[in-house]
Each structure stands twice: as structure tokens, then as C-alpha cells.
Amino acid sequence: MKQTERSVRIVVAQPGAKPAGIDVTAALRRLGDGVDLEVVADAQSCIDLCAAGEVDLVVVDYALAVHCERILKELRGDGPPVVVAIRGATDDVALDVFRRGASDCVALTRDDVEALPVVALEQIRRFRAARERVAAERRIRHLEQYNESIIQNMNSALLVVDMAGHITFCNPPAGKILGEDPEALRGRAAWAWFSSDEEEVSLLARTLSTGVSYRGAERIVIRSDGTPVPVGISCSPFFDSAGEKIGAVTIFQDLTEVKQLQSQVLQTEKMASIGQLAAGVAHEINNPMGFIHANLFQMAEYLTDMRQVWGRVDDLLQVVRSGDLESIRAAGDTLSEAMRSVDLDYVISDFGKAIRESQEGSERIRHIVQDLRDFSHHDSSEHVLADVNQCLDSTATIVWPMMKQIVVLEKDYEELQTIACYPMQIKQVFMNLLVNAYQSIEAKVGESGEIGKVWLRTRQRDDGVVIEVGDTGVGIPESHIDRIFDPFFTTKKVGSGTGLGLSTSFSIVKRHGGSLTVDSKEGEGTTFRVFLPVERHDDGEIDGD
């Protein structure tokens, strides 16, 4: 940026004839080789030179009269300094040229002209200093605008607070997320949006108190109208030039849309797994439907039988009223015969049994439909405490009909403490793992009539719970094992999977602060292991000091 020192350029405007003995140019030459002198005799040439090149000083002879006036007029304000040489100088003339914009004047006397180099140098120094100051100011202004423009136009929200948590700066995106005019936010406490409660200390508060930086954490800020906004947030302490901590800087993005997309992907993936289950579930509903249907027909027949007997009972009542013993006996015999013929004892006892069995069947259908409906629900936006064993078991119940033909299911559940989670998402992970286990066994045994084994094992650990879903299926080739959690990686044929099952599961577990790992041996089977922590870690923390 710094300009290289260039030679001094002075334009001298004077009449062709030098005043006797007084040589302005000679006087100026004493400034040395570094001075470039150009002599002109009229205003236009002088002005042209000044316009074309970098002229540091103009020295003009007052004797040029109108030319002198014009030079002063044209160069006033914007041009190089103009020093006027005056013959027989009077204060009046000097005052006049100063008024017209001259920077200085010297008398064209033998003595005074000796002072010209000094005057010239001083003018040049001042002029250059002024010019540099202007350039520097322009550069600073440009930098300020540049930075301001970056901050104002960046998509991320930027907010700076002092040590007390008062907002000292925020850009328009920050204002937009917080629901306020950015200007109106200055000086207000950030805690209205970023909680500083003991229970739910915001990252911003923590950065202020501990100096720790956070990067890429997901949090909720509460917009001024009360709407919670999910944000991805990074916080860093903010130091002054002396290294003193004076506040914190936080950058955050509105994740509302990202969250919506994420939930759409989750839902799509879930619906895809429900599609896979549909056949199995339909079968599970069809069986109770089958026997309820048959039982209803049978019960209708039983009713016909009972009506037949009831007709004979009615006949008997009629003849009882007549009091004729012979007729009563005959009617009694007919009744007995009817009862025997329809096998009334059996009909009555089996009628009850058919009702009980049908009730149980319809109860089963109700359960299956309930399970499916539960499964297709969205989670609430809040974590809830859930029994992971129950999540696993109810998911296994839904998947079981699909797999039972070729799979033996072993369950080994340990009592687990409840976990704060999104239960539907956790069930979806289990569903994916169970469907995978089933498909891997199906790929191995085919129609051979062999049976594979799937086991579910849960264990309580100090820091969380571990859920294992294992199978004796085909296993995963070593070359694939690093890629199985990648989105759209699939070895299934088109249409039988989205290729998102494991990657979705992986991100669900990760969002819960847990881990999803796999052990597999090709040809022998696979075990997926889900770990869910009791307490969620503060995601995104990076070392700070």
C-alpha cells in the first residue's frame, strides 16, 4: 500500500523574461537533483500539467496577472499548493493572493527569493502529508465499509455481548432471528433470548463465565414473540487488544428449515420401513380376521339352533297352560329331542368360547393397529423419559410377523433406567436394525427351510444403556463396513430399501448424544450396538482456556 518515494515535481509559471538577477528556477534548483522543474508561461499549460501529472507545487509569478489569477482559481481547493512570487510585494497584494487561495507568497527580492526553497519544501511537506492523510482516511473508511458490509450481509447472525451480557452489536440476521430491530437490541441483556437460568445455562453465559468456546451446538433461542427457534450456535470469548476478556461473540443460524427437512427425511424413511412391514402386519391382522369371520358365521348358526330349541320351549309353555299331562309329556319329549339334535350343551358352551376367542382376536387387531399408528406418529418436539426396553419390545412386536417364518427371536432384557429421548425416533432405529437383521437372514437361508436367529440384548451401564441387535445372517463384507452408515449406500435391490436406513439411524443416535457401532463377520452374522447416554453431552464444546 505504501507509495514509493517519488521525485518532487514543481511547475513554475512565469513570463518569458526573467526579472533581472532574480531567478526563481535557479533558487528552486538548490533543492537538488530530486526536483523536477517545469517552466510554463501561461495558465493553461500550468493547469494541464497539474491535471495530467502529480505536481507537488506551483510557483507562479504575480506578473502573469490574469494567468496568475486563473491558476489560483483553478487549483484552489483540489490542486497542489500555489506559491505566488510578488515583485515589490505589498501587504495588500499578499493579502489579495492569500484570499484567492495562495498557500504562501514570497517577495521577488534578491534576499527573499533565497527563502523560496524553504517555503517550497514546507508547502510540499504539508501537501503530501495532507494527501496521505486523505488516502489513509479513505482506506480506513473503505475497510470499515467492507467489514460492515460483510457483517451486515452475511447469512449468519452475529451478536456481541459485554461481560454483563449486554448486547453491544448485532447484525440484521441476528435481529431477524431474535425478532427485533438490530438497533433496538443494543444495550439490552441477551438473557431475554439466551437463557441464563441455573438449570438451563446458555452457551453464551457459559462462554462469558468460563471463557470456553463452543462450536456448532444446537440450541433453542426464544424469539421476542415467544416462538422457540432452533439454532446452530458457536460462541467464543472476545478479548481487547490487551488480551483482557471483554465479552463474547456468538454466531448462529436459524435451523428451522433444516429441522423441517430433517424431520421430512425421518418421516419418509419411517414410511418406507412401514411399507416393508405392511405385508407382515397385514398377515398378522388377517389371521384374527379369519377366525373372527368364521366364528361370526358359526355363531349365527348357533343362534338358529337355539331358536329352534326355543320354539320347542315355547310349545311346551303353551301346552303347560292347557294342563293336559299327555300333551305336556309329548312336548317335553320334543324339546329334549330338539336339544339333543342341535347338541344344545355344546352349542351353549361353544358359543361362549367363540365369543371369547373373537373378542381376543379383535383385541389383537386393535393392538396391531395401535402399534402401527404409534409408529407412524411424529415425535413431540421435547425429549420425554422413555423405557428403552419397551421401545425395543413394541418394535419387535411389529416386525415379528414379517420374520417369524425364518427367524427365532431371543430376548435378553436387563432392567434399564429411563432415558430422555425422542421415543419414536429410537423405535425407528430399532425397526431399521430389526429389518436389516431379518433381511440379512433372509439373504442367507432363502427358501432352504433353515432358521436364523435374531437376538435383542439390553444392558444398563453407569453412563447409559446399551442395546444390541444381533443376527446370524450373511454378515457385512469388510470392504463395505466403513460405508454402511453412508446415506444412500445400499446393497439391496432397487425398491427394497431407501439406502437411508442405517444413515438415518446413525444420525438419530448421534443426535441423542449416543453411538451406533457394528461388529460383523461375513457369512456369520452382524451385531449392531446402540449406546444411549443417561445425560446428553454438551455437543459442540471445543477446548477453551
**DSSP percent split of the chain into helix, strand, coil, nearest 5:** 50, 20, 30
Among 42, 357, 393, 538, which residue sits at the site for another protein (rule: CB under 8 A)? 357
Q: Judged by CB under 8 A, does residue 360 bind another protein? A: yes
287: contact with another protein by CB under 8 A: yes
288 binds another protein (CB under 8 A): yes
Using alpha carbons only, give the angle 46, 49, 54 rounded to the nearest 5 degrees. Answer: 125
Per CB under 8 A, 353 contacts another protein = yes
Select from 157-165, 257-265, 267-275, 350-358 the region that touches another protein (CB under 8 A): 350-358
Nearest to 396 by CA among 408, 383, 379, 380: 408
CA distances for 51 relative to 45, 367, 536, angstroms: 10, 93, 71
Cβ contact 502:467 at 8 Å: no
Listed ranges 135-143, 285-293, 387-395, 516-524: which one lies at the site for another protein (CB under 8 A): 285-293
522: number of Cβ within 10 Å: 14
Distance (Å, whole) CA 509 – CA 393: 18
Query: 51 or 294, CB closer to another protein?
Result: 294
Residue 290 near another protein by CB under 8 A: yes
Helix (H) or strand (E) holding 167: strand 167-170
| Of positions 298, 327, 491, 527, contacts another protein by CB under 8 A | 298
Contact flag: residue 283 with another protein (CB under 8 A)? yes
Query: Minimum CB separation from another protein for residue 291, in Å?
Result: 4
**Least distance (Å) between residue 399 CB and another protein:** 14
Identify which of residues 283 and 510 has a Cβ nearer to another protein in the complex.
Answer: 283
x/- map, 262-281, another protein, by CB under 8 A: -----------------x--
Please report whether residue 294 would count as binding another protein according to CB under 8 A. Answer: yes
Angle (deg, nearest 10), helices 501-511 and 256-322? 100
CB of 353 to another protein, least distance (A): 8
Nearer to another protein, 133 or 283 (CB): 283
Q: Which is nearer to another protein, 98 or 291 (CB)?
A: 291
Q: Name residues contacting another protein, limited to 431-470 (CB under 8 A).
A: 447, 449, 451
3-state secondary structure of 467: strand
Q: Are strands 419-421 and 464-471 parallel, antiparallel or unpaired?
A: unpaired
| Cα dihedral: 326, 329, 335, 337 (round 10) | -100
Q: 342-349: long-range contacts at Cβ-Cβ below 8 A with a sequence spacing of 24 or more? A: 342/305, 342/306, 342/308, 342/309, 343/305, 344/305, 344/306, 344/309, 347/302, 347/305, 347/306, 348/306
Q: How far is the CB of 447 from another protein (least distance, A)?
A: 8
Q: Which stretch binds another protein (CB under 8 A): 143-151, 181-189, 294-302, 458-466?
A: 294-302
Name 315's Cβ contacts closer than 8 Å, sequence gap at least 6.
Answer: 331, 334, 335
Question: Footprint of another protein on this chain (CB under 8 A)?
Answer: 279, 282-283, 286-295, 297-298, 350, 353-354, 357, 360-361, 404-405, 447, 449, 451
